[in-house]
């Protein structure tokens, strides 16, 4: 009786399990929400996905940034069992017929031939293929990754995560558990808009041996929705983005990056982060243009702005630039007596530590408030209400910068001195730095940085437009902005200025260099720095703001200034 009871209980459990699989949770099985009905259909079909239905990204001119519609030839395996005009297809696609037959002989899944397989087709050739009306032979435009990927950190990556999918979108039960979701970048920020409505595919039914189950008819299944998938129209310029990536590679900037803005609109035209994205290396997934790092002397722009705002910019006053940042004569400096303006051009530490100490006596909040007025501290990326999102962010991974780590440091002379030159606890993002330069070039007007302008429906109509938003809060005065413009230009025109190499630039450059200690050393025991150059051009009629930073480098190896110079040079050619 005990054994019988045990057997009955086991059978009852098995029946419950069968009921769960076949009757109760057939369309949402397990935590992954697997549709068992669909999976059973998939087991007896072979298919070619033409378009997974996820939204796309294009640049400001409509050029694709991640995927493209690539002309492709599709051959289904059952062709090896029938007579078909292989010679005609071989002639159209310029591939030996023997190669096509050999591929089919060993094929158990549909074969797709495109650029990756050395087959380049035009729209006319696709038309010729389809006019032959051969069962199992199709010329299609298939969504595929671009041959050379660009802007990977900006666009971001996607991946399968069934549990996260169900958690984020509990109401979207029709989504397959294999649906890709955004993990980083714009893929993550715009994920809900990009989710697929349905796939477009070619399929046919097979038996257990892979032979046609219902004849050789291949079905074309397409989404008839005129609105989806959507297209996210970014502000990026594909040509400028490609150029920027090539420049950093040429100058061997392996850890850092750059950001290029259109000053009038404050739109991102190009953004590159290094090291290059590698999905197996979590370190490389980070977009360092959105992460706070030590700015070094670039931060003297903030001290200068505060000094001007608080009336400490006496043009006749001179500072003893033979002294170090603490006011000590250690023999490491020999620039002599310099005015405020020339101190900025030559990046004299003592001048700015002196001014910072005087500012803190006047107002303990002067430095961080000025940094905020300049649009430096952040977050500075586009934020606003979008449909049911009260605080939608175009840069969800952007971090805020900071000036002070501890308010007690505001009363410590050495802490003030180190803060004045962009060290101690000062950390800002490259996006914040380039936004500061753009703000100065516009005369002090602060704007949010935008990287997406529109979301377009499939039929081309507008789903949503992102307005050009100002950053709330006080701004620097027009006088301060004008004074900073003169200082930034002097960095280049002064014979001993830290940006004098840009005197030969094809476009007039205004900017500020920076070197920040990181507290790290390389394998040789050499001190590592963050090397910066940030500015705008042309100086007289500012159009572009640019920041280039190389992290954890020795001064001798840094390619920062060379990369900035090359970008200006290439843009001058493109503008012509």
pLDDT band per the 50, 70, 90 thresholds, residue 536? very high
Specify the pLDDT at position 220. Answer: 75
pLDDT tens sequence across 486-496: 999 999 999 99
Distance, in Å, from the CA atom of 258 to the CA atom of 430, rounded to the nearest integer, reads 8
Q: What is the pTM (predicted TM-score) of this model?
A: 0.88
Structure tokens that stand for 569 in this block = 């040079």
Mean pLDDT of 445-464: 96
pLDDT tens sequence across 17-46: 887 777 777 666 666 666 655 555 555 567
CB burial readout 540-559, b (16+ within 10 A) else e: eebebbbbbbbbbbeeeebb
* Options 3.40.640, 3.90.1310, 3.60.21, 3.40.50; CATH of 46-230: 3.90.1310
pLDDT tens sequence across 196-238: 988 888 887 766 655 565 555 677 777 778 888 999 999 999 9
Q: How many other C-beta atoms are found inside a 10 Å radius of the C-beta of residue 51?
A: 21
Mean pLDDT of 317-321: 97
Domain ranges (residues) in the chain: 46-230, 238-575
Half-sphere exposure of 353 (CA within 13 A, CB side): 23
pLDDT band per the 50, 70, 90 thresholds, residue 473? very high
Q: Confirm if 442 and 375 have CB atoms less than 8 A apart.
A: no
Distance, in Å, from the CA atom of 361 to the CA atom of 356, rounded to the nearest integer, reads 9
Q: What is the domain class of 238-575 according to CATH? A: alpha beta
Q: Confirm if 198 and 225 have CB atoms less than 8 A apart.
A: yes
Distance, in Å, from the CA atom of 473 to the CA atom of 373, rounded to the nearest integer, reads 7
Mean pLDDT of 304-309: 98
Specify the pLDDT at position 48. Answer: 81
Closest CA to 449 of 256, 289, 232, 304: 289
Instruction: Tell me whether residue 297 is one of the annotated catalytic residues.
Output: yes
Looking at the predicted structure, is the pLDDT value of residue 159 above 90?
yes
Half-sphere exposure of 358 (CA within 13 A, CB side): 16
Which of 297, 475, 505, 510 is catalytic? The answer is 297
Mean pLDDT of 187-203: 90
């Amino acid at each position: 009786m005990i054994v019988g009871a045990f057997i009955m209980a086991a059978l009852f459990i098995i029946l419950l399990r069968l009921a769960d699989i076949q009757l109760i949770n057939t369309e949402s099985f397990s935590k992954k929400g697997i549709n068992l009905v669909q999976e059973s259909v998939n087991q007896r079909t072979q298919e070619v996905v033409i378009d997974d239905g996820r939204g796309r990204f294009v640049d400001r001119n409509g050029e694709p940034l991640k995927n493209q519609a690539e002309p492709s030839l599709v051959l289904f395996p059952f062709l090896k069992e029938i007579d078909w005009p292989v010679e005609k297809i071989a002639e159209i696609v310029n591939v030996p017929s023997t190669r096509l037959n050999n591929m089919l002989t060993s094929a158990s899944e549909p074969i797709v031939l495109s650029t990756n397989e050395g087959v380049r087709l035009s729209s006319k050739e696709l038309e010729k293929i389809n006019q032959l009306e051969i069962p199992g032979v199709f010329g299609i435009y298939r969504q595929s990754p671009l041959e050379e990927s660009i802007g990977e950190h900006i666009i971001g990556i996607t991946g399968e995560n069934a549990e996260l999918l169900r958690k984020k979108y509990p109401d979207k039960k029709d989504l397959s558990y294999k649906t890709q979701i955004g993990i980083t970048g714009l893929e993550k920020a715009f994920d809900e808009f990009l989710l697929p409505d349905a796939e477009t595919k070619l399929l046919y039914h097979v038996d257990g041996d892979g032979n046609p189950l219902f004849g050789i008819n291949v079905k074309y299944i397409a989404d008839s929705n005129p609105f989806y998938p959507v297209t996210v129209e970014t502000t990026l310029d594909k040509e400028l983005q490609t150029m920027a990536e090539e420049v950093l590679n040429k100058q061997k900037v392996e850890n850092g990056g750059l950001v290029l803005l259109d000053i009038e609109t404050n739109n991102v035209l190009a953004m590159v982060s290094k090291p290059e994205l590698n999905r197996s290396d979590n370190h490389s997934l980070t977009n360092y243009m959105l992460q706070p790092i030590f700015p070094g002397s670039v931060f003297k722009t903030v001290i200068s702005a505060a000094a001007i705002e608080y009336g400490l910019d006496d043009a006749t006053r001179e500072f003893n630039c033979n002294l170090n940042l603490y006011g000590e004569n250690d023999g490491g400096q020999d620039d002599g007596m310099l005015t405020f303006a020339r101190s900025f051009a030559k990046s004299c530490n003592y001048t700015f530590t002196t001014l910072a100490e005087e500012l803190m006596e006047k107002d303990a909040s002067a430095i961080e408030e000025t940094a905020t007025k300049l649009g430096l501290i952040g977050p500075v990326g586009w934020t606003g209400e979008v449909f049911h999102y009260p605080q939608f962010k175009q840069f969800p991974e952007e971090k805020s910068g900071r000036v002070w780590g501890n308010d007690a440091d505001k009363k410590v002379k050495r802490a003030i001195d180190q803060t004045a030159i962009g060290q101690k606890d000062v950390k800002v993002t490259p996006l914040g730095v380039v936004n500061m330069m753009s703000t100065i070039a516009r005369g002090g007007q602060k704007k949010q940085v935008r990287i997406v302008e529109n979301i377009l429906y499939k039929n081309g109509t507008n789903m949503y437009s992102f307005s050009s938003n100002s950053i709330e809060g006080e701004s620097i005065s027009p006088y301060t902005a004008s004074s900073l413009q003169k200082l930034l230009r002097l960095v280049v025109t002064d014979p001993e200025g830290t940006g004098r190499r840009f005197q030969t630039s094809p476009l007039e450059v205004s900017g500020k260099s920076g070197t920040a200690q990181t507290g790290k050393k390389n394998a040789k025991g050499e001190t590592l720095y963050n090397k910066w150059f940030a500015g705008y051009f042309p100086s007289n009629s500012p159009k572009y703001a640019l920041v280039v930073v190389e992290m954890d480098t020795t001064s001798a190896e840094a390619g920062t200034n060379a990369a900035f110079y090359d970008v200006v040079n290439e843009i001058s050619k493109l503008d012509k």
